[in-house]
Structure 1
Amino acid sequence: MTTSSKFLSAVSILALGMGMVIPVTAFMSIAMVEEVQASVVRSIEVHGNKFVGAQAIRDNIDIKVGKNFFSSDVDAAVKRLFGLGLFYDVKINQVGDKLVVFVKEYEVVNQILFQGNKSLKDPDLKRFISLKPNEPFNSAKLSDDIKVIREAYKTVGRNNVTVTVQTINLGKGRVNVVFNIVEGRKLKISGITFKGNSAFGSRRLRDVISTKPSGVFSLLMSGDVYSEERLAADEEALRRFYYNHGYADFRVISSKATFDAANNSYTIDFLLDEGVRYKISDVQIESDIDGVDVQSMKGILKTRAGDVYNAQNIEQSVAMLNNKAADSGYAFAKIEPRGNRNLANHTISILYNIEQGPRAYVKRIDIRGNEKTRDYIIRRELELNEGDAYNQTLVQRARRRLEGLGFFKAVNISMVPTDQSDQIILVIDVVEAPTGDLSFSGGYTTGGTSPGMSLEVSVTERNLGGRGQYVRLGLGAGQEKSRNYNLSFVDPYFLGYHLSAGIDLFRNTYRADKAYDVRQTGGSLRFGVPINDQLSANLAYSYVQEEYDFGGDYDLTKENDIKELYEKYSGAIVQAAIHSPWKRSSISYGLTYNTIDDMKNPHDGLYARVLQEYAGLGGNAKFLKTTGKAMMYKTLSDRMDIVGLFSVGGGYIHEMGEEGIRIFDMFKVNTDMIRGFKYNGIGPRQISNKGEVYFLGGTTYINATAEVQFPIPIVPEGFGFRGALFADAATLFGNNYKPVFQGETPVTNIKSAWRSSAGVSLMWDSPFGPLRFDYAWPITKQEGDRLQQFNFGISTKF
């Protein structure tokens, strides 16, 4: 072996030896590091914190004094502190046996301000954003809030809003956040068109959808706002409308919104396929479950052979079958309606198939998005609880009930599976809507106890404290010393039961017959309970004290003053007034039946109400008063949107004491009974010694109305006007007053005599509420009746 070979061999051996030594050394080094990292920490110091306490930071890391820790614990501690959202930088170092935590805190929001916002007020915007005063200023939240504000403005038709942010450093780690908003022009709906519709006119279909064309009063209304969500809801509204009117094959082929940049407006076009109108030829029930009594279930169905196909009636039938099956012990029964079309004669046979559905129980109910509304307010609208069998029909009914509360802009109920196949989680997502109103209103009426101009201011909250309770405070003033103050409170679920309870307090003053002032002070306690979806019952107690003042120095307890008043006014009025103050303590009870399709814009259905009031639970008044009213709406032309109305009403008051019935407790005619005559302008009357006629009211009335309502072709639809032709008939009679003063004339016109009138109306769904203008021609009248051909006031349908 040469010298060089020996040298190379030595080098190789040395290299091999080094290769063995280096890994061992590395292993020893790593072990030593791990051993250091696992050492015990003797203290934890915190630096850089100004607002967050040092102990709070220590409590949020898992490394504890006197215990071992590893590098993974340090990583976890850093992530946990970042996750608090209080710091934008976190470092943790080991210095000897100390652990030093360095943090850099976000600045704290002192105040949030908005500039340039007009369409949305500060409280509304603050409710949308996530940044809050006295919380960390987080740039990620800020970016989200800008997006949220932009989305909020889209709901009021401001799609081109610009939002910038300015932060004002106040020192000591506090900042003011200013959102500068440039709202831009409001987007308009220049037109809404329908193609493919022949059964219903475009005007009728525009009543169905929530999107409305822009008009003169767009600034006061919110329907002329475009959004994709609203357009999708309009499609669903059209489907439900057609399905409920017999068009089972209806479909929306397309709904298109076209933007016109020059006019800053959208045109919305619906392309429809109506299909044909079906009638029901046959209705059957079949069951795959042994023991289900099919025959007993047929009587509860809403669908009948010969009826026009109606999807809503089918839904209600399915719900009732579900409840019937559950009551019979079949909680998991699944009812599936099936329709078999006969295209030749346009009929559908309906088969309700009852089968055993999959077993699933509600493990948990999660509610999200309700910042104001309490959980139990939402839960009480559900007919499902944790542990109950899942029922899709009850879920759909709960969604409709929640939407009907008026507390939410949107409601969605979804089902989330769990790790157990027979259990699900029910998730309810809601988007809350404003429920408070501050209203200023003015008006003019030609009838009632206080005709003329009137002003009112009211504060209303429909979801008081998130508890679902209603409260309203109203103050009003009018001509002829008219004043009114009222406070109402209603709890729709009194003591947790499906029983509404309300209390009303009021004080009203007005001048009657241009002769004397009336002051009414009182209150009522009322209860209401639904019997089913159409029928409800109510019970109320009321107490009213009435005071009468003829002005001057008249003392109604002195005989000479009473005689002097008798010389000026009707003896019946003076005789009733001398008992001032008059107290009436009464209880009333009634039933209401309602199948009206749309209470704001009725087209079909029946509304009937009967009420009885017994006065005599203390106080001065002693009588039994019975009233009833029925109104039936029927669409006469779907295509032309013509609606017919027929209504009847009546009332009778029976004396229960020896003193008879005061004239102030009797019925008086008003424009709801017959148009063309003044308020209290027909019926029994008395002539004073001065020759003036005083209408006293009667113990019995009957009235009837026939009316045809229609759109006005020459008026743009966005104005909200409709016209009507009407014919009224009424009679008011009966009066038991007996003269008590010497020379007093008897009451006349106490027998039944019918009056009738016909006329035209203009109805306006105004931003200030529904208004109505009537012009009537009296056809049948009696000598001395007080006529009033024109009448204007607030429209009250029910």
Structure 2
Amino acid sequence: MLPSRKRGGARRLHVFSAVVFCLFALANAAFVTPADAQTYRFNNIAIEGNIRVDDSTLFGLAGFGRGETVSAGQLNAAYGNIAASGLFETVEFVPQGNTLLIRVSEYPIINIVNFEGNRRIDDEDITPIVQTRSGRVLSPSQVEADARAIAELYAQRGRSAAEITPRIIPRGNNRVDLAFEIREGNVVEIERLSFVGNRAYSSYRLRQVLNTKQAGVFRWLVQRDTFVAERIGLDRQLLTDFYLSRGYVDFEILSVTSELARERDGFFLTFNIREGLQYRFGNVSVVSEVEGIDAADYERELRLRPGTIFSPTVLDQNIARIERLAEQRGLRFIRAEPRFTRDNRNQTIDVEFAIVRGERVFVERIDIQGNTTTLDRVVRRQFTSAEGDPLNPREIREAAERIRALGYFSDVDVDTRRGSAPDQAIVDVEVEETTTGSLGFSVSYGRAQGIGFGISFSEQNFLGRGQQVAVSFNTVKGSRDISLQFAEPALFGRDLRYSLGIGYRETKSFFSDFDTREGFLNNSIGFPVAEYARLQLRQGLVLDRLSGLSGNPSQRLQDDADAGTAVTGSLGYTYTFDTRNVGIDPSQGAILSFSQDFGLGNQSRRYVKTEGRAGYEMGIFNEDVTLRADARAGALHMINGKSRNRERYQLSDVMRGFAPGDSGPRDFASGSNDVLGGNRYFSVQLEAQFPLGTPEEYGLSGGVFADAGSVWGVDSVGGINMTDGGTDYNKMHVRAAVGVSLFWDSPLGPLRFDFSRPVRKLDRDRSQNFDFSIVSQF
């Protein structure tokens, strides 16, 4: 703010000028006729105090010149125009007989603009939002606006208590320095995030939906627990989508209140909601209002069963099926218009899809703005429509969702407006870039391995092309792992995902009695074959070598070592049917997959490796508890030659509770009873995840699990003893383990700690009671 002494002086001068002007007017009124009482004529107008602003500019602002007759209203307007120009600190009108003296005092020129006290935000980030510049005339109103803009920038970073004080420092010759003194204050975090009116879902479940998080013990690492007013809009949309996708069609957010603590060190955020009732789909039908279209053909395209929960996502999917069939038959501007009939008594909604002829509007062009790094084509390929195609509002909405799902932008706004003609429309895409890369460092420690180090770099939008690149290096006590991963999600501008992986690994004998070296090169391409299904085709090349055997090793391991470096090429495919990512924050989902790899190696080795998987996830008890089931099976069939150790399955890889390299089929003829792995496996994993009742800001939840599985069937076992105590370890023996889990949504990512105990195992199997992993989708 400006010094109070200057402001007080300016006000006194203004008051004095007004009094003098009024006295002058009264004096004139005593010597003129009533007809002339409201007009004045000055034969001369003198101007004083202007240095940079010339007289002509002041005459232009006043609006009259010497010898002109002016009214009292014109004089007042002239005074207001000059004062409001922003060029002068003070303005006076002083009548002196037939002369009007206009005395002004110009605002000084700004010499330097400085920011003081800012440690959390650099000058380079503040300067662009400040309009006051060096070399310009000082404007008190603009300085105050700049101070508010700086305070808003700090509020966006979670520092709502920041105070900005402008200071003016005189430097002589009508020049000043301007300093914004910044008192940053502490980060103002959300101490409590609560809901009022929620009955179907607990506050614990709803907090998981929001982008904003409640502050916890690791608040110094978490960014989303700071209060940012702009984030509330996103939270409102996420919460609304959550309820609508679960059939609560009358859901409403009545208000969102944010209360600042008395100490100004925390916010209390409350969502006041009205849930309404949950509705399900009732009768579903299709009618045609377009001549020549048979509704029965389109009704067969529906995948909507009465009794399922009403969901806008499911509705849009069925609309898309109808419109897609019309496009395949060469029909343009055909739209499926859903019409609803609500049955409040039974809480159902009947849906009638009316096939109608839509408005004949074409896409004139797609304008993209705000993408400073991301190339236009990365955004444009999310649209199924191109310039010249019929405008489909549903496709535009779906494209907007796909752009948001990229993760490249913090804000996405897609809208349409009229084009150059009534039948033309322009699609405007406004985006705001966000960070897409990460650099990580890690340190690990194991009693056998010692201290290990790792570094990784990943970029999800490499060079703005939408490509993913990841590089990692890990080393521990002579072992190392180097890899490079590259992915192009839209090869040739189509829905073709190409992936390339190159890497080299070395392992020492921590969990086995041998060392390995392995180099690999993998290529794959994936594409959709149905609505929820994708097919991946891949090619692999592996060079591996086994060494470091000592004592009396198993003959199978010795064969691998004697063979030297093995070169194996493979071709394979994977078919995946996955519904887990359907809708907003889905409450259930399933995955089915089937894969085969056909391998050809040196020494005439040939094999076929087949694997299958079925998994399901669902929420119960209003989604506070999540149940998961996952079943897998695989078989390695050698057409010619013997399998190598790296190609066989290990028990610790398919179930929990068993030690790596120390469980499963063994060769008891070797000195160390070497574990060989198996050519076949199956596993079934069941688990439940639930809240622990701890403060939610800790990000902790618990779980229980039960695993059952087996690995067996080593090929070419002639001359190898795999029996101990009457038990043939090469046959299928079901093992089982139970345990508890601790899930931690940590600042470094979702982590999982498993504490397990085998309840069914063979005598020689070794257990592992603790395991640590990074959580991913099952």
SS in 1 for 2:651: coil
CA distances 1:135-180 after superposition (whole Å, capped 9, x unpaired): 9999999999877665444343123445689999xxxxxxx99998
Indicate which of 663, 667, 680 corresponds to 2:645: 663
Q: Within 2, Cα distance between the matches of 1:138 and 1:580?
A: 81
SS in 2 for 1:545: strand
CA distances 1:56-77 after superposition (whole Å, capped 9, x unpaired): xxxxxxxxxxxxxxxxxxxxxx
SS in 1 for 2:685: strand
| Residues 147 and 667 (structure 1), Cα distance of their counterparts in 2 relative to 1, 3 Å cut | farther
Q: Which amino acid aligns with 1:531?
A: V
Q: Within 2, Cα distance between the matches of 1:330 and 1:583?
A: 54
Gaps of 5+ in 1: 1-87, 89-105, 169-175, 551-564
Q: Which amino acid aligns with 1:665?
A: E
In the other structure, the counterpart of 2:403 is: 402
619-628 or 290-299, which deviates more: 619-628
Q: Which amino acid aligns with 1:793?
A: S
Is residue 493 from structure 1 mapped to residue 490 from structure 2 by the alignment? yes
8 Å CA contact 2:414–2:427 kept in 1: the answer is: yes
Indicate which of 456, 464, 478 corresponds to 1:466: 464
Indicate which of 727, 734, 738 corresponds to 2:706: 727
8 Å CA contact 2:598–2:609 kept in 1: the answer is: yes
Q: Which amino acid aligns with 2:656?
A: R
8 Å CA contact 1:258–1:268 kept in 2: the answer is: yes
Q: Within 2, Cα distance between the matches of 1:239 and 1:424?
A: 29
In the other structure, the counterpart of 1:635 is: 619
Q: Which amino acid aligns with 1:642?
A: V
In the other structure, the counterpart of 1:528 is: 526
Is residue 765 from structure 1 mapped to residue 745 from structure 2 by the alignment? yes
The Cα shift of 1:320 comes to 2.4
Indicate which of 596, 602, 622 corresponds to 1:612: 596
In the other structure, the counterpart of 1:518 is: 516
8 Å CA contact 1:585–1:619 kept in 2: the answer is: no
Q: Within 1, Cα distance between the matches of 2:465 and 2:182?
A: 34
The Cα shift of 1:570 comes to 2.6
The Cα shift of 1:456 comes to 2.1
Q: Within 2, Cα distance between the matches of 1:517 and 1:626?
A: 27
Q: Within 1, Cα distance between the matches of 2:494 and 2:517?
A: 37
The Cα shift of 1:704 comes to 0.3
The Cα shift of 1:369 comes to 0.7
Q: Which amino acid aligns with 1:685?
A: R
Indicate which of 606, 619, 622 corresponds to 2:606: 622
CA distances 1:203-246 after superposition (whole Å, capped 9, x unpaired): 11111111110011222222213233321221221221111112
8 Å CA contact 2:535–2:573 kept in 1: the answer is: yes
Q: Within 2, Cα distance between the matches of 1:625 and 1:300?
A: 36
8 Å CA contact 1:243–1:311 kept in 2: the answer is: yes
Given the two structures, how large is their TM-score scaled by the length of structure 2? Answer: 0.78
Q: Within 1, Cα distance between the matches of 2:161 and 2:150?
A: 12
CA distances 1:523-579 after superposition (whole Å, capped 9, x unpaired): 2112111234421111121212112331xxxxxxxxxxxxxx564333322221222
Q: Within 1, Cα distance between the matches of 2:111 and 2:126?
A: 17
The Cα shift of 1:302 comes to 3.5
Q: Within 1, Cα distance between the matches of 2:750 and 2:425?
A: 46
CA distances 1:572-594 after superposition (whole Å, capped 9, x unpaired): 22221222212221122101222
Q: Within 2, Cα distance between the matches of 1:624 and 1:142?
A: 74
Q: Within 2, Cα distance between the matches of 1:529 and 1:397?
A: 19
The Cα shift of 1:381 comes to 0.9
8 Å CA contact 1:584–1:620 kept in 2: the answer is: no
Q: Which amino acid aligns with 2:743?
A: M
Count of paired positions: 659
Q: Within 2, Cα distance between the matches of 1:625 and 1:113?
A: 68
| Residues 410 and 689 (structure 1), Cα distance of their counterparts in 2 relative to 1, 3 Å cut | closer
Q: Percent identity?
A: 29
| Residues 363 and 777 (structure 1), Cα distance of their counterparts in 2 relative to 1, 3 Å cut | same
What is the Cα-based RMSD across aligned positions, in Å? 3.5
8 Å CA contact 1:586–1:613 kept in 2: the answer is: yes
In the other structure, the counterpart of 2:275 is: 274
Is residue 577 from structure 1 mapped to residue 561 from structure 2 by the alignment? yes
In the other structure, the counterpart of 1:313 is: 314
| Residues 364 and 483 (structure 1), Cα distance of their counterparts in 2 relative to 1, 3 Å cut | same
CA distances 1:245-290 after superposition (whole Å, capped 9, x unpaired): 1222222222211222415211111122211222222001222221
8 Å CA contact 1:257–1:267 kept in 2: the answer is: yes
Q: Which amino acid aligns with 1:653?
A: L
In the other structure, the counterpart of 2:546 is: 548
SS in 1 for 2:401: helix
In the other structure, the counterpart of 2:682 is: 702
Gaps of 5+ in 2: 1-86, 88-108, 170-176
| Residues 665 and 695 (structure 1), Cα distance of their counterparts in 2 relative to 1, 3 Å cut | same
The Cα shift of 1:357 comes to 2.5
In the other structure, the counterpart of 2:552 is: 568
| Residues 406 and 621 (structure 1), Cα distance of their counterparts in 2 relative to 1, 3 Å cut | farther
8 Å CA contact 2:735–2:761 kept in 1: the answer is: yes
Indicate which of 706, 715, 718 corresponds to 1:736: 715
The 5-angstrom pairing of residues 128-527 of structure 1 reads: 150-161=151-162, 182-443=183-444, 454-478=452-476, 480-512=477-509, 513-527=511-525
Q: Within 2, Cα distance between the matches of 1:368 and 1:139?
A: 34
Q: Within 1, Cα distance between the matches of 2:520 and 2:181?
A: 51
Is residue 781 from structure 1 mapped to residue 761 from structure 2 by the alignment? yes
| Residues 445 and 183 (structure 1), Cα distance of their counterparts in 2 relative to 1, 3 Å cut | farther
In the other structure, the counterpart of 1:558 is: none
Q: Within 2, Cα distance between the matches of 1:333 and 1:202?
A: 43
Q: Which amino acid aligns with 2:697?
A: G
8 Å CA contact 2:363–2:425 kept in 1: the answer is: yes
SS in 2 for 1:371: coil
In the other structure, the counterpart of 1:10 is: none
Given the two structures, how large is their TM-score scaled by the length of structure 1? Answer: 0.76
Q: Within 1, Cα distance between the matches of 2:354 and 2:681?
A: 52
CA distances 1:603-647 after superposition (whole Å, capped 9, x unpaired): 4101222221111166875221111222200112116x0111111
Q: Which amino acid aligns with 1:368?
A: Q
The Cα shift of 1:336 comes to 2.5
| Residues 337 and 146 (structure 1), Cα distance of their counterparts in 2 relative to 1, 3 Å cut | farther
Q: Within 2, Cα distance between the matches of 1:211 and 1:254?
A: 16
